[in-house]
Amino acid sequence: MSVFFVGGIHGSGKSTLCRQLSVPLQADHLIASELIEFTPDPHDLTRKGVVNVAQNQDRLLRALSQRKHVRPNVLLDGHFSVFDRTGRIVRIPVSVFREINPAALLLVEAEPSKVRARLGRRDRRTYDLDLLTRLTSEERFHARDVSRELGIPLRIWRVGNGIDEAVRFLLAASRTS
Mean pLDDT, the chain, integer: 86
The confidence score (pLDDT) of residue 44 equals 46
Name 80's Cβ contacts closer than 8 Å, sequence gap at least 6: 7, 91, 92, 107, 138, 139, 142, 143, 146
Task: Estimate to the nearest angstrom the gap between the alpha carbon of 102 and the chain centroid.
Answer: 12
The confidence score (pLDDT) of residue 38 equals 45
Going along the chain from its start, the domains and CATH numbers come out as: 2-176 (3.40.50.300)
**What secondary structure letter does DSSP report for 109?**
E
* pLDDT single digits (tens) 25-76: 999 898 887 777 644 444 444 555 555 667 777 777 777 677 766 677 989 9
Question: Higher-confidence residue: 4 or 88?
Answer: 4
Q: Predicted confidence band at 81 (pLDDT cuts at 50, 70, 90)?
A: very high
